[in-house]
Structure formats: structure tokens, C-alpha cells
Chains A and B, each alone.
Chain A
Amino acid sequence: MDRVVDELGLVPEGGLMTLYFPCYESAIVFRVRSRDNKGFEAFDYGPLPLPAGTPLPTYEGTSTTVPADGVLPARSYTRDALTFPAPAFMSTSVFDKNDVFRLSKDDADTLFHVRLFVHPPLVRVEVRIPSNVPQYGFQRRRASVGVDTLWIGAKRGSAEAVHLPQVQTGYRFGNDAYWMDLRTFVRFVFGEYRVEVPRSPELVFDVLTKRAPSYWLTLPVFIRTDALEEVLTKCYGFPTVDGRPRLFKLYRADEREKALKDYAEIMKQLRV
């Protein structure tokens, strides 16, 4: 069977990547035409962008203060999602100096596939797309969970996300250890992909019915937001139905003809 990712966990040139959006119960299939950073996928960012003196909430409901740059105090978490400012040498040339992985809406054919690794790996991580929207819920969102809730709602040590153009993607971090203020370090392994949506309804159907190999990533997008829908409709050109983007629905295997017709209609309007 073909490998859908390489040894770095990134999609190779010519490979397919499927982004599934739970809030739409549908997906986008991208073909990676090229990788702009082949050979330099590692980005040793440094400590978390937490300046000394930053107030942080704690799991006990109190607050604490970052004791030194990049240190995550014991029992604290970041209330807001962090983005990673560009290093000085590129800060004047990137699209958003406060978010090194943020792309312009004019970069419609570009995606950042970002795998974040934080040391110590004890640190809890949560992805937010967009950065200001809590996305994780439990029991049909009767309860909200995330890095601020203990025991559920976050991973330790790593996270994976795809940064879509224009949308600000952020990460929240938590240190649930007692009495240990952690010195942090972040490494990104990322792919800067040039992408297109395949214009073959048959291929998309085969991918979404798992008959064709594709790297499948479910984005933590459980709540619809204007920021995301603007990218999907205006940047990528997906049509809308009842005000929501019409992506590639996951049809059953016995709905092939219906699916092919639907996908073909969508593809006529795409810009990427």
C-alpha cells in the first residue's frame, strides 16, 4: 500500500490530504503539488512565547505569573490560544509577524501542515481553529473541554494542525504538574504545501470512501465561524447551501452516482 505520509509525518509531493470538518460533516481533498520547504522541515522555535510577568489562570481557579520568559508555571494554562511570532530575521517579510504560520487569503494554493512538539512532553496542548474559538465539547457540547479541563480535552507533548490561509490557528498549553515550573521548548515539523483540489469526482469519491490512499486529518472544528467560512467560500470557492459551505460530503459506497454528480457541481466553482 502506498505511504500517505513520509518519515516526518508529512504528505509527499503528489500525495493526497483529506481535511475533515466535523461541523460540516464533510471534507476537502487536496493534492499536494509540491512542498516548498523540502529538506528543511524542522523549525526549532524556542521557548513558548510567554513573556515573564504574563498572568495565567491555574487549575485551582486562582492566577499565577510567568516567572521567566518561556516558563509555564506549575498548575497553570494559557487562557487564550498562543500564536508564534516570527523570528526577527523574517518578521518584516512574513504576512503576519505575530503568527509565523499565518497565510494571506492570496495564498489560496498554500497550506501549512504543522506538527508541533513541545518539551517537556508533559505539557498539555490544544489546537484552536480559529484561535479565539473554543472547539472541544463533550456530549453534544453539554460540557466544554480543553486544556483548561483536567484529564480530558488535550494531548500531551504534541499537536497537529493545518493552517488554512487567513485563518488564525492557535495553540493552548497547560502544565498540570504540581510545584514544577517548566522550562519549555517548541519544535515544529512542518510542510509548506502547494495544493490543488483534484478535479476528478471519481478520485474524491474513492478517497472519501477510503478506497484510495490519502492522509486523513480531522480538524478540531466543531463550531462554525465566519472566519473559516470566508476562506472556504471566498478563497477556495466552495459554493454555499443555506448559508453554509458545501464541501465534499461523505456519501455511502452505494451512493456513488449521487456523489459524483454532487462533487462535479462543486468542482466547477472551485478556485484552487
Chain B
Amino acid sequence: MRWLLTVRGEASPSASGASGDFTLGSPDVSNTFTWIRLERGLKAKVWARRLEGTTSFRLLVQFSPDTTASPPPTSTVDSAHLASPGALELEKRRPVVIQYSTGLEGVKFAYSDTGGAGKIAFVAEVEVTDEDE
């Protein structure tokens, strides 16, 4: 099973140095969400990402081993930097792989280091699979 989940997030930071989580939307999902939390045995592979904004920002791919904790412990496993207003496309030759071993894990997308007030957005391709490779 392989599912290519396209997610998009937008935010409107009001100042430089702002940070926060993206709220995600997807054509395959009828609601919005923050964490991609799947059941055990699955993998999420974060492939291509597109960053766009009227101000610079850093996109963070963050992993939590336990999304049920309050707050969830989170570590940044990958990042990308839009250094100036415009767009940046990143096609990764190797994806960031998240293994769901307990079903408590989650991956989310956050932003930081905004250059100022403006609109920022990203699109990522997340491959969900239950296969080993």
C-alpha cells in the first residue's frame, strides 16, 4: 500500500522571529489537522516540499514519539529555509522517514525565523506506506 498524501499549510506571521505550527489541509482529507498520526506498522516518508512566502521563514519537519503527551515531546528532523520572498522547491532524493512503531508517533510541520509580517505557505508530499522499502 502506498498513498501519496499532499498536504498544504498556510500562516500569516505578524512579526519577524515568529514561530508556530502549520494547520494542514489535503485534497484527500475533508478537515484540517496538525499532526499526521498513523497506526503502528506504517511509515510516512516526507518527499518533495515547496515553500512560498512574502517573507522569509524556516520550515521545520518535527517528530514526536508520543503525541498523547501534554505537551508532546518534539524534535526537528529536517528543515528548509526560504531565504527571501518568493518560492523554493525541494525535491529530496532521499525522504525523511517516520516509522510508526507504537501508533503514538506523529509528524507535523512548523515554521520559525520569519523575516517579518506576511503570508507563508508550504506544500509537502508525504508518502504513507506499509511496505518495508
Contacts and interface: CB of A to CB of B under 8 A. Distances in A.
Contacts of A68: 30
Nearest to A124: B39
B31 A181 contact: yes
B28 interface: yes
In this complex, the interface size class of chain B, counting residues with CB under 8 Å from chain A, is 20 to 34
Interface of B: 1-3, 5, 26-31, 33-42, 67, 103, 106, 128, 130
B3 A120 contact: yes
In this complex, the interface size class of chain A, counting residues with CB under 8 Å from chain B, is 20 to 34
Contacts of A181: 29-31
Interface stretch (A16-24, A150-158, A263-271): A150-158
Contact of B27 (A121, A156, A183): A183
Interface stretch (A92-100, A171-179, A197-205, A215-223): A171-179
A180 interface: yes
B28 A151 contact: no
Nearest to B7: A180
Most buried by B among A71, A122, A180: A180
A244 B27 CA distance: 50
Interface in A125-180: 150-151, 156-157, 176-180
B30 A179 contact: no
Contacts of B3: 120-122, 157
Contact of B2 (A121, A176, A178, A179): A121
A272 interface: no
A74 B41 CA distance: 17
A67 B31 CA distance: 9
B38 A156 contact: no
Contact of B1 (A67, A121, A180): A121
Nearest to A70: B30
A63 to B, nearest CB: 17
